[in-house]
Structure 1
């Protein structure tokens, strides 16, 4: 039996909240410990299911793991057990966790071989692995699908992988990360164009540079990598999670709360604060904290010519798709209308039926677009019983429930726990009425 949250909404919250370490950065950074036999220390690790499973999986394949605290962990990958990767346990465990695909790049770079299970993860539409595989093939790796065992096998050629020029068919964040990790020890120069340039990828590249890699163009979509023979240990601290920060900004507005988000890593947030400001949400930057005053009402801006605002996702430095669900929920209580256009995943908007049941005015135009007509708090949302389909929708529904009148029950909250650490405790500290059943 999966647990549920019981939420009594309609209360305004107040106080300070500290964002966790970035989930999407953690999955890449923690995989990169496989690049060296030396010790790697990682700080600000989010204590969430996906990350803990990945750390456990590293231990299973022979990495020495010392969890100094929930937020700090030391890794040493000096004795990798490839035999274990053929066992049904490994295939079952790694197949449940999408992040395990990130082991392929570093293992291929260091040992010339890797195994990838068919991936699991969020139900937000097809997420192809083609970008990863084609990148590995361009570096010279051979790729075989073992149909009987349902996994992919990768092998470097006899003389090792060779640097090359490649143009990615999409700026996939995990794809770019995996290819960069595979290329740092390939012979010669690798050039990756249309590379993802998210802050998390910049963090990974900076970490590998500290380990001895030679990478130029960090932060741009053109990366140039000079292969080196080996990498050494290092220490790395993860950025605060920008998706959590966006979620908290939205939460403050929806619940008319005065909230300070501490240590928000503002310089790494890109366009995120601006998008929430377009919804009419006021905020002040105080040092590295974001202060959101309690607001009775917030009005969605229009474009300069008066036409209705459209908010859509785009690869970095555009607006992250992970926050569109949050923006959509926040818009339901704003004054004015907005069109939410979710380009990158085709089933991310399939939670709006629950918001409509709560009383929101939303027209789902197609799987990618939803028009939201803000209620300007004329009609409060009503609490209902609902189920969370994926991590980001789960938190959007939680925010809706906290602002709604009456009691809401949210089932399948394992999805929320996969991405947000102790979310119920942290919200209770702000005064939220939330219980875990």
Structure 2
């Protein structure tokens, strides 16, 4: 639940204790996509009418975006697993650094605020330390749409150029298919005057989900999911009810965990074609994949080494590179993992090697020779997806592992350990007495019983 609270557990004081060599069995309920929900929350700034978002995941990143919206005067009401967003009393002002620090998605607000109010001031974004993620594409695109932009002391200040009160449609060609830039520019163009085309646009499912919701609100967006997106600006956008798509990264993580433990599980609900690159590689490595409607079942026995190379959608997702690397550590034979999206997303390699993996790293390419098993250890995850990879490694390993860095994990996985426990893994979240006071918008953790029901 989302509510007001005076206390917030300090996640660095928590760890997951895992008794290794477990097996998974059962059905996993997949939550709404974090990366979609965050941008949909930002897009609510484009209207004065109520938005109802269904299937919102309960994550610390969602909590942070909620705090940003609340700071701008947006009223948020959580009821019956849906979030009601009322932007009636929104006021345009600079977003505080302490709210946006650590949440890269906060920068998406700049496109919506600029096109709606004519100006915006947003601090430079934070997020996981996985490498350079420049905002050049966002800035250049907004300038092309008619904005004047300066950056002073870490604050991006944008204003519609001249005496005009609207951005103007234009042709934008992105140098790379940046998801964040594509989303920012779609929102900005939705209320611009005239037609905007975005060439070399990102094609991720989260882009398509954003366009689907904006069109429900009255936008005129065509060809989302293709390399060129067309947006005809409208005068205003209205409210709507929209259900967030299932999280393909959470889904892929559970499929990989099942493969790593020679297990059989079913994940649902999912959109199977969102996971095609992942399921193809799991099949290639020896798992049996069965797709029925909005569910995917996996049966795994022996795993053989396969090569992967991350790529923008519909390629293999960078967010599942670390979990898949954990799987390959115990595969028969050799494999090669090539990371092409981020230059600093191999932080898990030396930790897997500490557990007994045989991985040689050459820049952003990992060469793996499979071993029979890993050894349990105490380790600290350095980012969201490396933390998930270490948990999978802990489940594979002999003995007990304690995984720290849950402040990263809880950004992207709702009640991850409780879902694993429901599937049969011996895993426990351990707390110490250290907490600190924070008076802010907060997501209350669900009880274990409720979470178990959600996992089933």
- Which of 45, 60, 64 aligns to 2:75? It is 64
Contact 2:259 2:282 in 1 (8 A): no
Structure 2 match to 1:79: 89
Give the distance between the partners of 2:360 and 2:173, measured in 1 at CA: 38
Contact 1:259 1:291 in 2 (8 A): yes
Structure 2 match to 1:305: none
Matches within 5 A, 1:280-359: 280-293=286-299, 295-300=300-305, 309-359=306-356
Give the distance between the partners of 1:289 and 1:199, measured in 2 at CA: 17
Matched, 1:428 2:421: yes
Aligned residue for 1:271, secondary structure, equals helix
Higher strand share: 2
Q: Which has the higher contact order (CA 8 A, sep 6+)?
A: 2
Give the distance between the partners of 1:100 and 1:330, measured in 2 at CA: 32
Structure 2: unaligned runs, 5 residues or longer = 1-11, 431-456
Give the distance between the partners of 1:279 and 1:23, measured in 2 at CA: 28
Contact 1:15 1:259 in 2 (8 A): yes
Structure 2 match to 1:412: 405
Question: Could you give the per-residue CA deviations for residues 112-142 of structure 1, whole angstroms, max 9, x where no partner exists?
Answer: 1111112111000111111111110000101
Q: Once the 2 structures are TM-superposed, how far is the Cα of residue 96 of structure 1 from its aligned partner? A: 3.1
**Matched pairs, number:** 417
Q: Once the 2 structures are TM-superposed, how far is the Cα of residue 272 of structure 1 from its aligned partner? A: 2.2
- Which of 18, 22, 28 aligns to 1:11? It is 22
Structure 2 match to 1:278: 284
Give the distance between the partners of 1:401 and 1:96, measured in 2 at CA: 27
Q: Once the 2 structures are TM-superposed, how far is the Cα of residue 292 of structure 1 from its aligned partner? A: 1.5
Structure 2 match to 1:225: 231
Q: Once the 2 structures are TM-superposed, how far is the Cα of residue 372 of structure 1 from its aligned partner? A: 1.2
Give the distance between the partners of 2:428 and 2:185, measured in 1 at CA: 43
TM-score by length of 1: 0.93
Contact 1:2 1:414 in 2 (8 A): no
- Which of 156, 159, 167 aligns to 1:155? It is 159
Contact 1:276 1:327 in 2 (8 A): no
- Which of 84, 93, 99 aligns to 1:93? It is 99
TM-score by length of 2: 0.89
Q: Once the 2 structures are TM-superposed, how far is the Cα of residue 277 of structure 1 from its aligned partner? A: 1.6
Aligned residue for 2:353, secondary structure, equals helix
